[in-house]
Structure 1
Amino acid sequence: MKTMSLLMITFLIAILTACSSNSGDTTTNEQGSASGDNQSAVQTGDKVTMIWLPNESGGNMKEARDEIGALVERATGKEVEHKTTTDYIIAVESIANGSADLAYLGPQAYVEAKGKNDKVEPLVTNSGESGTLDDAMYYSWLAVKKGNEDAYKQGDAFAIDNIQGKRFSFVSNSSTSGFKVPTSSIVTHFSTNKGMTDLKSDDLLEGGDDKFFSQVLYGGSHQGSAVNLLSGKADVAAFCDTCVNNYVELVSGEANTAGAVYKVKADAAAPFNTVAGEELVVISSTPVLNQPFVVNTETISEDDIKSITDVMVSDETAQNPKIFVPKDSEFKGMFKQAGESRFLKVEDAWFNPIRELSKVTAP
């Protein structure tokens, strides 16, 4: 993975959102807890509940979830209960309303949860190869099926001009790399280069004869969006690299760049088992800030939060092959061992570039 400074990431996102305007106000959570000084005292229990987005909720990720849970159990001395989901909204609401104590959320999902309850805070995120936050990123892809890629070229270079009118698959409108980044990129490109100055992100939510896309699908997860593409339901799809890297392998080109070709592994687990051997081509790739583990500070004590953070950022965790998985390992983990990769503390302000993507895009 290329090294890119956080400044450069922020610059890229600023370009995507140069025409943005502010969106709605912060709301209260389902239990009526609002941001401000009148928060109730911390109510902790004898177990810790962790909730997972659909991307990490599959059966093939159980051992990886359990390994993360073991870190929390060691830090707190409390039993960890894992709750998997099939919908982004469930995970966001659960951490915001306190029915979950910890969550592993995408940047946009975290921003939404924080907006619902100011007591939701980030703990750690995984670093880049440098062992710092400077290159702590993953990639938002726009991809097409192998064999169709020439329709998305201008000369020798890939371009997104011809995605208009196509069947398009997003992940969820709460997804950073599966919705917020691609819609901002699309709006900026077409308003700047095609004169579509009235185009907004909301115009991409659904398809139709009078819409930007002929049809819009939602995969519910990054895996689901990729399968929508590979099964022929969509012509173009948005999803991220890290959520599909257990299922696909690079067969040509440079990883995470336009023109890279990936093939579904022959032994890929569900839902990719139905499209084994199919190939996709990346036509656009945009860096995105890594996603955080987050905590509801109303339900976990300050001492437990400190203990969890200390364990996660430790050298021992960085060297755990079931947390940061070596390249030649067959273990299905969430994080790849690369360079000096490890968990690092992260503050809320680090996600401000993502908040820019949450604004309604309007020229």
Structure 2
Amino acid sequence: MKKLLLVVAAMFLSLSILTGCSSEASKKDSGPIVMVWYPNESGEDLKSARDEYSRIIEEATGRKVEHRLTTDYVIAIETIANGNAHIAYMGAQGYIEANKKNNKVLPLFVNSGSSGTLDDAVYYSWLAVKKGNEDQYRNGSAFSIDNIEGKRFSFVSNNSTSGFRVPSAGIVNHFSQKDKWKNLQAEDLLEGGRNKLLSEVLYGGSHQGTTVNLLTDKADIASFCDTCVANYIEHASGTPNRPGAVYRIRQDADAPFTNLKGEEFVLISVTPVLNPPFVTNTDVLDEETQKALIAAFTSDEVKNNERIFVPKDSSFKGLFQKSSGNERFLDVKDEWFNPVRELSN
């Protein structure tokens, strides 16, 4: 009888444990989805854009969304890597760093190019100087980065793809051809000073911040990307996204550009960069929810959503602009980011 009672008790205990696990799993899979954002997308001016992503996620999964806004790239990377967020929107370099910390962090989808494919799914890393100073960076009729030597330079963050990793690789590739700098490494650009290529190195913390460093004369040259400042600038002259192009801060620009309206800068170098992904930590977001999100965001409904892919003449401030009408989100795999990963090796 004792043995029978022990068996029955064990069965009830097992059932209780299973039920408890089931409850915890249910709670985990039905609780809020936490989405972390870089500083570039954490501003109040993009709140309506973030809310639209919430709406799509909630409709696709039946779960509420909580936004984690940040003031530092490292915080966003750590938050997704350690499982304190389910989803993040981050540059390729940030994704690679998060994946290195936790290989359960994987891409969900990425915005296409104007062709609607991954073939031209790029944005642009700019090296810019304040209008009026551009002739210092000419070699004949063309622009050259030879004269950035000894200058004050503002990067975004050493975890930024277009604001550090890509431009630093370009600078190293250029100057290592010269005997004086033949041993130059990207790490040598992290700070300036005596016997350094750059006299001073600043970090804006965001693409907007590093643009402000340039326009307020804290830096002579700055590296930032086209898409992250698109809501604040207008094309003034020259061929867009080509050296020599001039851009101007718009009259309706929000913070941090409210006191810089009308200020202009000139591109002296332009490099294409792989589009930034939306990623997930697969340790904390179940496969069924991942599939639901990919299906929702790669749908024609989202492709035609003008709060996601914003028409040029719209006053809505979103993350992506519509040019051809073919722009959409596409499922993407880890290996697509290998060209950026190789820059870190």
Q: Given residue 54 of structure 1, which amino acid in structure 2 is its aligned partner?
A: P
Match of 1:304 in 2: 289
Match of 2:39 in 1: 54
Q: Cα deviation per residue 1:168-200 (whole Å; 9 max; x = unaligned)?
A: 000000000000001000000011255521111
- 2:246 is the counterpart of 1:261: yes
Equivalent position to 2:256, from 254, 271, 276:
271
Q: Secondary structure at the match of 2:259?
A: helix
Residue correspondences, number: 319
Q: Cα deviation per residue 1:3-31 (whole Å; 9 max; x = unaligned)?
A: xxxxxxxxxxxxxxxxxxxxxxxxxxxxx
Residues of 2 paired with 1:151 and 1:291: CA distance?
Answer: 32
Q: Cα deviation per residue 1:73-106 (whole Å; 9 max; x = unaligned)?
A: 1111000001110000000000000000000010
Match of 1:245 in 2: 230
Q: Given residue 121 of structure 1, which amino acid in structure 2 is its aligned partner?
A: L
Q: TM-score, normalised by structure 1?
A: 0.86
Residues of 2 paired with 1:158 and 1:333: CA distance?
Answer: 32
Match of 2:338 in 1: 352
- Call closer, same or farther: CA 1:193–1:274 in 2, change over 3 Å: same
Equivalent position to 1:183, from 168, 188, 191:
168
- 2:202 is the counterpart of 1:217: yes
- 2:140 is the counterpart of 1:158: no
Q: Given residue 223 of structure 1, which amino acid in structure 2 is its aligned partner?
A: Q
Residues of 2 paired with 1:353 and 1:276: CA distance?
Answer: 37
CA displacement at 1:267 relative to structure 2:
1.5
- By relative contact order (CA 8 Å, sep 6+), the higher-ranking structure is 1
- 2:121 is the counterpart of 1:121: no
Structure 1 residues not aligned, in runs of 5+: 1-40
Match of 1:172 in 2: 157
Residues of 1 paired with 2:267 and 2:53: CA distance?
Answer: 31
Q: Map of 1:2-41 to 2, 5 A cutoff?
A: none
Match of 2:329 in 1: 343
- 2:290 is the counterpart of 1:290: no
Residues of 2 paired with 1:318 and 1:195: CA distance?
Answer: 50
Residues of 2 paired with 1:330 and 1:209: CA distance?
Answer: 47
Residues of 2 paired with 1:274 and 1:348: CA distance?
Answer: 41
Runs of 4+ in 1 over 3 A off after TM superposition: 41-45
Q: Cα deviation per residue 1:119-161 (whole Å; 9 max; x = unaligned)?
A: 1110000000000000000000000000000000000000000
Residues of 2 paired with 1:277 and 1:343: CA distance?
Answer: 34
Q: Secondary structure at the match of 1:114?
A: helix
Match of 2:9 in 1: none
Structure 2 residues not aligned, in runs of 5+: 1-24
Match of 2:128 in 1: 143
Q: Secondary structure at the match of 1:272?
A: coil
Residues of 2 paired with 1:66 and 1:94: CA distance?
Answer: 20
CA displacement at 1:276 relative to structure 2:
1.1
CA displacement at 1:209 relative to structure 2:
2.2
Q: Given residue 47 of structure 1, which amino acid in structure 2 is its aligned partner?
A: P
Residues of 2 paired with 1:75 and 1:161: CA distance?
Answer: 51
Match of 2:74 in 1: 89
Q: Given residue 332 of structure 2, which amino acid in structure 1 is its aligned partner?
A: V
Q: Cα deviation per residue 1:233-257 (whole Å; 9 max; x = unaligned)?
A: 0000000000011000001011110
Q: Cα deviation per residue 1:273-328 (whole Å; 9 max; x = unaligned)?
A: 12111000000000000000000111111111100110000000000000000010
Residues of 2 paired with 1:144 and 1:264: CA distance?
Answer: 14
More helix by share: 2
Residues of 1 paired with 2:200 and 2:302: CA distance?
Answer: 44
Q: Given residue 330 of structure 1, which amino acid in structure 2 is its aligned partner?
A: S
Q: Secondary structure at the match of 1:322?
A: coil
Q: Given residue 101 of structure 1, which amino acid in structure 2 is its aligned partner?
A: H
Residues of 2 paired with 1:220 and 1:265: CA distance?
Answer: 21
Q: Given residue 252 of structure 2, which amino acid in structure 1 is its aligned partner?
A: D
Match of 2:20 in 1: none
Residues of 2 paired with 1:216 and 1:238: CA distance?
Answer: 11
Q: Secondary structure at the match of 1:50?
A: strand
Q: TM-score, normalised by structure 2?
A: 0.91
Q: Cα deviation per residue 1:20-71 (whole Å; 9 max; x = unaligned)?
A: xxxxxxxxxxxxxxxxxxxxx9953411000000010000000001111111
Match of 2:14 in 1: none
Match of 1:234 in 2: 219
Residues of 2 paired with 1:118 and 1:202: CA distance?
Answer: 25
Q: Given residue 161 of structure 1, which amino acid in structure 2 is its aligned partner?
A: D
